[in-house]
Structure 1
């Protein structure tokens, strides 16, 4: 028991105990407050400051490697100490902190990050707040060299950058129940934010204002007076919806939104620079967009058409216009600037391929991939390898004019004409076999006795009539000696041909062999296989039955000279003085293409005409371009990617082989001669004839064998040249007047041929030689490094593309993959931007770190998910947005709203 005194002592101590207890509690509370403040500062540093320092500063300012300017920023003491210019960070003093001045770009000679874009204003504001608050920094010790290496390695940097909002999976958002009077999900998303900010939707707009808004937004045109009157007097509950549907059905809707689309991509009708050459038929891409948008072609389909419209297994066919719509989507690839006759063709290629990459990745992905041309992206998870992976995709294609004629139009009459042509061949062969029996009398005709022609044959041992000219006026042994001389001359030709073909210092492509499968090509006149010797075409008019009989090769006019062709050789590096192509044709052209440069300018980028009926060598001087990659293109009239075309709609070419060679003995000659034929001696071994009668018998035998071989499609090249000469000279009939039973067949053939359509052409690209582009060190095309496999962005899908295709189809699949969070977000934001004047993301081309963050991220993701769920329909998306209270509200804002407007 306590004594009375003890109780008194306790009463005395009690107030002191209470004071002590309160003091202890106060200290604890103060400690908690300090701990909470430290925790907030730590979170702010870890979330807002450290990632920027690691990403933007550690590589050049660290304790173990580079320490530019004597500055390290990888721990607190180093940042406080600073470098050669003084302290980088002065706690509580933003103005005295050199780091802040550097990232603000306050001084011309001190701008960080070095050589890169300025950091976002939000990031700069974070650093200001950090320094003002005392520059809390838990990094008391410098990191190890391994830690620095790991933190600054690209995989580590990419992983951190992948945390950016736009690269996160699209969330499943549910519209909040923000207000009972709002039924539309979009309005409920917006109302939730408005309520948080003490705001509300404005009242509905006046009906005349609303109709003008809808009309301009959807069609780009004001409503007519009649439309305004009808709307203002329509009191039905769905009057607004009826106007929306009417405007979406208007043909002007496609015109309006095609203009937006062409802002996302581009549109041009010429290439700029000196001369400003036209892009042939560029308008077809514009009209394609208008039709596609009016028809509400799904956005994912348009993505595929813009990247690989020529490769789709099931393209969209417009039977009314007779065209392949899908192939027209490739037109945007051609709408790039091409400089005038650049002296460095690879530099030019880098520039326009860079532009293609920039447009595609911004338009579909909102990513600035071109910023990684010279180095890894400074802000986003885009590596320099990503840029060159896509470069290989686009550079593996070739600019071209695509034939977009519909399959039905391309098939028109073809089978019937092929059958008729075979009948014509057989009737001609039958007639010629009869005529060969009277060859002696035919050779004696007055028209064959032209003194000048026979004199030419006498002096040319390779001429088909050389033997006849000599045997007419010479007796043995002179005529026999002339025969032996001609035979020896032909043997020299054969040896020269064989020697040239076997030369080891030339590139040699033969279009009569499997080489043809390696030649990228396009057009209605080019088949999958090269043609055998004996090909011919039926003359389109006049008394002549056929136009010629050709050696083996590739010819565009097998059925009609209306058919077009664009034939390009495999890609090769120029290491010789010249490149020659053996070709024939009419109104066509050949061109040496350096580094995919499509313009025809000046002597170093010139095109050469093809206007010779027999295959003749066409030579290009390549000495200036040694070391560059090139290919040869051969095109019918109007089918070169750029260049004027004559009004003539009929043209053709035939191509036999291509060689790259030096200016010496390996240079090809037009063998066997300009007449394109071969001598009789080419087909005769053994003893020569001694009399004209024996000679005629030889002629008859050789011709008989040639005609039989032609009839049975077994002709050799030399036989085709020999037979063609006799047909062209009239020694074998080629006149419809003298071939009575042939005329009805030819007349029927010509009638069908006249009904064939002229190919419809549009700008685009075709698959070329597929290759992986070497990475250019620091973006310098003169310093190639290792090739980069073609693929998509590694942060989204690093799967390599197939080896035998450019990868355009796979690129479209990757862009549209459900795992890719960018594509649907970007397009719904673009639509919102054009309807409201500002996107949910205020930077529609930039969804990276330098772009804005979404004002309503849940709404953006809800729109993106609904857009894909509703089959990528742009009209459905637009209808959904313009049906909201938000779109239809008055533009007159309340004073309370204006007071809080951050953008006023």
Structure 2
């Protein structure tokens, strides 16, 4: 017997009244209901010992309070004790009997097979598979089919499609430009793989929130593309208000998707004010958004996980050695500096002489040469400083008078605000703006100085501390580029972080110039301009020594030469240092020799230090109020909403903590939402009608105890989804007939009580895939870039997508999940059958009935091609016998033999119009399109 309910009865159980609209909607929990004797009509059965706590804020008729049902801990449910063999059926039968109804008889074997195949793998069974079950329709045979389908690679393809709807997976940006995303497909492949491997759902969720930190490399970067799969506005204007508003819109999309997907809460509705219907404050929205504040998006090359793991392991050993070498060198430097302090012969180093100097004394002239500046946009000279407005202003100098390779960039700068990103202080670039080296603020790490360069070719981040003072006082910043490629950053005359080696970039006479205020380019763009004042700047055509940089900045140099260092070490220390340095060199060579494959993926570009978040008054991007700490939603009865993180915590800590909080074992929403989502996808509607909203607007569940029992079972099974599928599809509720009943329809017209299995029309992708299967044209190639049944046309920066179909291209016959899916335009047949546009999360698809659907199946190029393919297939399989061709067509389309009358009429039709025309008729029938 399949999933037989556990032994036991309702002894030891207590009855609790549950109101028609739900006791939690009426502002009381089960314990309160029992103690106050509330007289409500429906029974709940809950095991003794469940503690229901009073809450400080109750709901009302028009909103939920903290006592709302979905926010409470999972109930420890004991299934009802009745005559049902399957545990799910015991819940369903009890509810039906309360209304004088019964579960319907079993569906026919053919209906069960079609239902099962389309639900689990999204494609129809063959007539041979149907007949095999008709011959032996036992529970054991049925269970073997279930297990075979769950083991099929097509299972992951089917269920990944459901998930991509929720993840608003779209392979173009949307909005005005709608540029294609050519490398978002690795996320789709990762989801398919995760479903096929039965990755535990809690791990599946964590990877999509923080996979780049949890598992660095291609796998983690592919998984976390969940966060960036949504719309992206690339035309946001140049004003600060528009830029900030666009960023807040982006954060709302990401935060809202995370909240709805994993918590079933529309947290994004609290961006401008406290949530109107759920107990979520505006502060809590910004707490949650703060955890995702470091998420930006970019296509990037990512190394495979194996090679990256090898490099990380070698890097740890290298760090250990570097630490030991550093301890030895620290002792030597301290000895040298101690001797210097006691020497009367120590002289201050001479100030270095630059190639160019700008002091901004009323103009932009170079005080040493001819690299005079020219104002662009809103830049101006005022009070002996170059004032940069951050929206349009920058300065461009005359071209170089000679070639430059080694160089030093240096400036004294005061920022208007530390909360800016990507502006250049001083930089050197080619005249076309394509190649550059610059001092840049906050581009890859919030608040940090970096060596900006074209495509980050000469840019690395090694942990320089975020700036804390430059908005209060001027700071000295410099970057030195040595001939061997070594790049060193300085702040106030001292090294900002460790040097690194790259490739030196040369600039030719007359082919390059310097910039102030603009990172690079020939005109301003979003995130490229600096807001602040440059008080002085200098440019050198050579690499300054650390002592020279310190002297120029007015700092006391603590630089010690290698000769001085070695002379201060004893023989044993020198030998130990050399041995460790040699081992470090070998490890660096080994790291360089690790050759992992690199692949492009459109994913998260993390801002490692995104800075504090602030609550915005009425959501206005420029009306920033107090800081908020990264955190969650306090009304959840389970994990603490206080993450224990500082306002300026790094991105990795924020998203790791968010992932842990969401997937915490005592988070009741995490498991309730997924249990309800699974039920919805198997039955056509969830126990709660709105899969993404278990708040007030979603209402109460039709079977609250069944929902909590399923959620508890999901947790008990280690969050394995295949076990849940097996449990659901083996129930009588799932396998029952879809035949209508006049009596039951009067009692429960919407079938919320599950007195029958509601008929379901195939979704657009399953319909297309089924047509490919029966025509014999399906290309089962899995993974990789999607096939394109659209042509791309670029007009003035905007991309347009035009669907097409043609004979002879096997790529166009792959499963629909492997289709390149741009926003705004789907193929006609997909659009006609309610395939959603991925501009927003689509947890529940619309099911419309329109004349266009029949016309699409009759006249669409794809449908015509499938009908021709079916005609060729049946002829190849049966020869020239027209009657046998018609019989085979019915077998392939419907999984059954044609009735004698059907056969006679179909032969007559095919004789007159041809087998391709008959194929169009069969594909355009309810029996093909609807699952009973």
Length-normalised TM-score, structure 1:
0.51
How far does the alpha carbon of each residue in 1:689-726 deviate from its partner, in whole angstroms, 9 at most, with x for none? Answer: xxxxxxxxxxxxxxxx99999999x9xxxxxxxxxxxx
Matches within 5 A, 1:398-797: 398-401=296-299, 404-410=302-308, 500=411, 570=466, 612-613=505-506, 619=515, 621=517, 662=533, 666=536, 668-671=537-540, 673=541, 676=542, 757-758=597-598, 761-796=601-636, 797=640
Question: 1:354 Cα deviation (Å)?
Answer: 0.8
Q: SS at 2:631's partner residue?
A: coil
Q: How far apart are the structure 1 equivalents of 2:245 and 2:92?
A: 49
Q: 1:190 to 1:575 in 2, by over 3 A?
A: same
Question: 1:391 Cα deviation (Å)?
Answer: 1.8
| Residue in structure 2 matched with residue 273 of structure 1 by the alignment | 175
How far does the alpha carbon of each residue in 1:216-256 deviate from its partner, in whole angstroms, 9 at most, with x for none? Answer: 11111111233223333345551100111111111111111
2:213 pairs with 1:311: yes
| Residue in structure 1 matched with residue 266 of structure 2 by the alignment | 368
Q: How far apart are the structure 1 equivalents of 2:311 and 2:672?
A: 48
Question: 1:415 Cα deviation (Å)?
Answer: 11
Matches within 5 A, 1:179-190: 179=83, 182-190=84-92
Question: 1:351 Cα deviation (Å)?
Answer: 0.7
| Residue in structure 2 matched with residue 258 of structure 1 by the alignment | 160
Q: 1:580 to 1:353 in 2, by over 3 A?
A: farther
2:744 pairs with 1:897: yes
2:710 pairs with 1:863: yes
How far does the alpha carbon of each residue in 1:808-837 deviate from its partner, in whole angstroms, 9 at most, with x for none? Answer: 122222222233221111100000000000
2:232 pairs with 1:338: yes
Q: How far apart are the structure 2 equivalents of 1:504 and 1:776?
A: 22
How far does the alpha carbon of each residue in 1:62-102 deviate from its partner, in whole angstroms, 9 at most, with x for none? Answer: xxxxxxxxxxxxxxxxxxxxxxxxxxxxxxxxxxxxxxxxx
Question: 1:363 Cα deviation (Å)?
Answer: 0.7
Match of 1:176 among 72, 77, 80: 80
Q: 1:585 to 1:163 in 2, by over 3 A?
A: farther
Q: How far apart are the structure 2 equivalents of 1:788 and 1:751?
A: 41
Question: 1:499 Cα deviation (Å)?
Answer: 8.7
RMSD of the alignment, in Å? Answer: 5.6
Q: How far apart are the structure 2 equivalents of 1:46 and 1:409?
A: 54
Q: How far apart are the structure 2 equivalents of 1:400 and 1:896?
A: 58
How far does the alpha carbon of each residue in 1:758-805 deviate from its partner, in whole angstroms, 9 at most, with x for none? Answer: 465451242532433221112222222111221110212331442233
Question: 1:858 Cα deviation (Å)?
Answer: 0.7
How far does the alpha carbon of each residue in 1:594-622 deviate from its partner, in whole angstroms, 9 at most, with x for none? Answer: xxxxxxxxxxxxxxxx9934899964646
2:140 pairs with 1:222: no
| Residue in structure 2 matched with residue 239 of structure 1 by the alignment | 141
Q: 1:503 to 1:519 in 2, by over 3 A?
A: closer
2:287 pairs with 1:389: yes
Q: 1:163 to 1:887 in 2, by over 3 A?
A: same
Question: 1:375 Cα deviation (Å)?
Answer: 1.2
1:392 touches 1:790 (CA, 8 Å); kept in 2? yes
How far does the alpha carbon of each residue in 1:328-379 deviate from its partner, in whole angstroms, 9 at most, with x for none? Answer: 2210211232321334100101111111111111111111111111111122
1:353 touches 1:391 (CA, 8 Å); kept in 2? yes
Q: How far apart are the structure 2 equivalents of 1:414 and 1:173?
A: 47
How far does the alpha carbon of each residue in 1:478-519 deviate from its partner, in whole angstroms, 9 at most, with x for none? Answer: xxxxxxxxxxxxxxxxxx9899459899999999xxxx9x98
1:366 touches 1:846 (CA, 8 Å); kept in 2? yes
2:733 pairs with 1:886: yes
Match of 1:799 among 627, 642, 646: 642
Match of 1:162 among 58, 66, 69: 66
1:258 touches 1:290 (CA, 8 Å); kept in 2? yes
Q: SS at 1:395's partner residue?
A: coil
| Residue in structure 1 matched with residue 254 of structure 2 by the alignment | 356
2:114 pairs with 1:212: yes
2:673 pairs with 1:833: no
Identify the range of structure 1 (867-876 vs 159-168) with the bigger mean alpha-carbon deviation. Answer: 159-168
How far does the alpha carbon of each residue in 1:135-159 deviate from its partner, in whole angstroms, 9 at most, with x for none? Answer: xxxxxxxxxxxxxxxxx99899999
Q: 1:614 to 1:301 in 2, by over 3 A?
A: farther
Q: 1:224 to 1:378 in 2, by over 3 A?
A: same
Q: In structure 1, list runs of 5 or more residues that go unmatched.
A: 1-42, 53-125, 127-151, 318-322, 420-460, 464-495, 523-528, 531-552, 589-609, 634-658, 684-704, 715-744
How far does the alpha carbon of each residue in 1:739-766 deviate from its partner, in whole angstroms, 9 at most, with x for none? Answer: xxxxxx99x9899859553465451242
Q: SS at 2:213's partner residue?
A: coil
Question: 1:201 Cα deviation (Å)?
Answer: 1.3
Q: How far apart are the structure 2 equivalents of 1:503 and 1:854?
A: 58
2:57 touches 2:66 (CA, 8 Å); kept in 1? no
1:577 touches 1:621 (CA, 8 Å); kept in 2? no
Q: 1:709 to 1:390 in 2, by over 3 A?
A: same
Q: SS at 1:877's partner residue?
A: helix
Q: How far apart are the structure 1 equivalents of 2:95 and 2:720?
A: 27
Q: 1:222 to 1:163 in 2, by over 3 A?
A: same
Question: 1:300 Cα deviation (Å)?
Answer: 0.4
Question: 1:555 Cα deviation (Å)?
Answer: 11
Q: SS at 1:868's partner residue?
A: helix
Q: 1:416 to 1:827 in 2, by over 3 A?
A: closer
- Structure with greater helix percent: 1
2:306 touches 2:596 (CA, 8 Å); kept in 1? no
Q: How far apart are the structure 1 equivalents of 2:314 and 2:71?
A: 57
How far does the alpha carbon of each residue in 1:15-49 deviate from its partner, in whole angstroms, 9 at most, with x for none? Answer: xxxxxxxxxxxxxxxxxxxxxxxxxxxx9999899
Q: SS at 2:668's partner residue?
A: coil
2:27 touches 2:67 (CA, 8 Å); kept in 1? no
Match of 1:194 among 96, 110, 113: 96
Q: How far apart are the structure 2 equivalents of 1:256 and 1:563?
A: 44
Q: 1:883 to 1:706 in 2, by over 3 A?
A: same
Q: In structure 2, list runs of 5 or more residues that go unmatched.
A: 1-18, 29-40, 42-54, 319-352, 356-406, 419-423, 428-438, 486-502, 550-559, 570-584, 752-932
Q: 1:582 to 1:164 in 2, by over 3 A?
A: same
Q: How far apart are the structure 2 equivalents of 1:751 and 1:160?
A: 56
1:280 touches 1:763 (CA, 8 Å); kept in 2? no
How far does the alpha carbon of each residue in 1:434-474 deviate from its partner, in whole angstroms, 9 at most, with x for none? Answer: xxxxxxxxxxxxxxxxxxxxxxxxxxx989xxxxxxxxxxx
| Residue in structure 2 matched with residue 117 of structure 1 by the alignment | none
Q: 1:555 to 1:571 in 2, by over 3 A?
A: closer
Question: 1:177 Cα deviation (Å)?
Answer: 2.1
Q: 1:786 to 1:862 in 2, by over 3 A?
A: same
Q: How far apart are the structure 2 equivalents of 1:338 and 1:381?
A: 30
Q: SS at 1:278's partner residue?
A: coil
- Structure with greater strand percent: 2
Count of residue correspondences: 540
| Residue in structure 1 matched with residue 278 of structure 2 by the alignment | 380
Q: 1:809 to 1:462 in 2, by over 3 A?
A: closer
Q: SS at 1:775's partner residue?
A: strand
Q: SS at 1:774's partner residue?
A: strand
Q: SS at 1:189's partner residue?
A: helix
Question: 1:209 Cα deviation (Å)?
Answer: 1.1
How far does the alpha carbon of each residue in 1:651-687 deviate from its partner, in whole angstroms, 9 at most, with x for none? Answer: xxxxxxxx97646x62x3431x2xx4689xx99xxxx
Identify the range of structure 1 (182-191 vs 565-574) with the bigger mean alpha-carbon deviation. Answer: 565-574
Question: 1:895 Cα deviation (Å)?
Answer: 3.2
